[in-house]
Amino acid sequence: MNLKDLVRTIPDYPKKGIMFRDITTLMEHPVGFRRTVDEMVQPFADSAITRVAGIEARGFILGGAVAHQLSIGFVAVRKKGKLPWQTISVEYELEYGTDEIEIHIDSIEPGDKILLIDDLIATGGTAAAAAQLVRDAGGYVVGASFIVDLPDLGGRARLEAMDVPVRALMSFEGD
């Protein structure tokens, strides 16, 4: 089974010229979803990971499954204002402005080995901010794992420049 065949491409969504890569079709496929989770974990299996950090929102689904498979805790990386308790945050640049993500102040212990999880890496802004947030909390990012990489947008290179190993199950050229 080729996992890439299970990803639906929707032309001109959310705007004209964009080829949207829809992973919901992959997650709806029981064997494909199981294999996806297995392959996201495999390269980091010997890294003594202590927690998985999932980036809002699809990273929650995937990260929860990965954390369950590894029998470790899950850290929710959320947009500012969505977590109910004390947080630490990182602001990062967007194409037209800034955004902010946060975690609870007690979700990462100093020295924790964290695997970042999200569905897709494009420009890498949110993933780079999540890696910085983990480091600010005293954790160590052992790697970042994604289903889809859009290499033309440079996200992988951005994370690798931060010394974060990147795993992507597939890539699509273009936007």
Catalytic machinery residues: 58, 95
Tokens of 138: 């005293």
Question: In DSSP terms, which residues pair with 145 in a beta bridge?
Answer: 117, 167
Provide the token pair at 39. Answer: 């392959």
Residue 42: phi and psi, rounded to 5, are: -45, -50
Strand partners of residue 102: 78, 89
Q: For the CA atoms of 127, 3, 24, 158, what is the dihedral angle to 10 degrees? A: 10
**Quick one: angle between helices 58-70 and 30-41, nearest 10?**
70
User: Residue 160 carries which side chain, given as an amino acid letter?
Assistant: E
